[in-house]
Structure 1
Amino acid sequence: MRPTLPVLGIICVWATTPLAQEFNALTLNFQGANSFIERNRLEASKSSGMSAELFALRGRLVTIPPQAQEELLPSRFYEYALSMAEQYDIPSQIFFNLITAESNWNPVASSDAGAIGLTQLMPRTALELGVNPWNAQQNIEGGARYLRQQHDSFGSWDLALAAYNAGPGAVTRYGGIPPYKETQDYVQKVLGR
């Protein structure tokens, strides 16, 4: 039994290092992406261009090598998000707040509703925008373009954000911000009020 103790000691020390904890968290995120893909297999198969790509990714999303972890750090996306906010004439603070509210800058975030990535694009929206929601840069660009489309349709940032959160149909149906607490709180949070 003595030879086992040093090995266990090494494992315990390694598992408590910040790098190991971050690696474990990222592995769980990728495993979450796998379960998301599995749960939404039928939905994905309806959108022919997306399904093959999602299922090709499935086998690669179980673990992430330590050297790739740096690529997933939020700071890698800030500059790109800023450039997309400028390109689509979105106040940068609103766009940064949107990404924070949607995913907390987690590029592999997925919701129970099916939203994917940094800007939490729904698969159908991503398909309509022609972006891969699992690709962080395409997700950011798609989210910025979609937010700009909502602003162009509704004429204000509060209504654009309500449409982004609840869907443009809900904003049209209610003639303004829908009476959903989640959407009302979301609009206030992203606008920084």
Structure 2
Amino acid sequence: MPFAQNFNAMSLDFHGANSFIEKNRLEASQSGGMSAELYALRERLLTIPPQVQEELLPSRFYDYALTVANRYDIPSQIFFNLITTESNWNPVVTSSRGAIGLTQLMPQTAVELGVNPWNAQQNIEGGARYLRQQKDQFGTWSLALAAYNAGPGAVSKYGGIPPYKETEAYVQKILGH
């Protein structure tokens, strides 16, 4: 039985994900990641009663992300951490490098995967499929995540996690080390 089948979306450690975000808050805001304003908004939202949070937060994506992680045999916490790191569950966010949506797909990658990166469900599907491709190619979640972040060419070139501070930190964040 794949790891993800043991969970439903509500049993995942979302508070842990929030701690995970908080732990990396200063680093992210200094390195051009999530702005201080978004952190402040997240803090305000976390003080809202759970019934109201459900209406305001993108929880409608959680169950779908869990289903897709299960389909591609990706440990659900890794996939949830990836989406939290990439977009903080914002389906319309874009990066300065042009990556789009929840899983921050590059436009060319989205074309190759045959998904519309602006469609949240297709973006989740594409991100999971791309991560699974990297895992199949490189064999470990660490290398798959490095390839997801820096590109498979960089992982091949260096024969492992590329010596890029951003990529090294990215892998550690998502794996929770």
TM-score when normalising by structure 2: 0.68
Q: How many angstroms apart in 1 are the aligned matches of 2:65 and 2:93?
A: 17
Q: How many angstroms apart in 2 are the aligned matches of 1:160 and 1:98?
A: 11
Q: What's 1:175 paired with?
A: 159
Q: Deviations over 1:114-147 (max 9, x none)?
A: 0000000000000000000000000000000000
Q: 1:131 to 1:71 in 2, by over 3 A?
A: farther
TM superposition shift of 1:72:
7.8
Which of 64, 70, 83 matches 1:99?
83
Show structure 1 runs of 4+ deviating over 6 A: none
User: Structure 1: which amino acid aligns with 2:112?
Assistant: E
Which of 106, 113, 133 matches 1:122?
106
User: Structure 2: which amino acid aligns with 1:99?
Assistant: I
Q: 1:72 to 1:134 in 2, by over 3 A?
A: farther
Q: What's 1:109 paired with?
A: 93
The runs of 5 or more residues in structure 2 that have no matched partner are 1-53
1:50-61 alignment, distance < 5 Å:
none
TM-score when normalising by structure 1: 0.63
Percentage identity across paired residues of the two chains: 82
1:1-193 alignment, distance < 5 Å:
73-193=57-177
Q: What's 1:21 paired with?
A: none
User: Structure 2: which amino acid aligns with 1:119?
Assistant: T
Aligned residues of 1:72 and 1:107 also touching (Cα < 8 A): no
TM superposition shift of 1:110:
0.1
When the two chains are superposed, the root-mean-square deviation of aligned CA atoms in Å is 1.3
TM superposition shift of 1:73:
3.4
Q: How many angstroms apart in 2 are the aligned matches of 1:183 and 1:124?
A: 20
Aligned residues of 1:126 and 1:132 also touching (Cα < 8 A): yes
Q: What's 1:65 paired with?
A: none
Secondary structure (helix, strand or coil) at the match of 1:179 reads coil
Q: What's 2:5 paired with?
A: none
Q: 1:135 to 1:95 in 2, by over 3 A?
A: same
User: Structure 1: which amino acid aligns with 2:93?
Assistant: A
How many residues align? The count is 124
Secondary structure (helix, strand or coil) at the match of 2:103 reads coil
Q: How many angstroms apart in 1 are the aligned matches of 2:85 and 2:64?
A: 17
Larger radius of gyration: 1
TM superposition shift of 1:71:
8.5
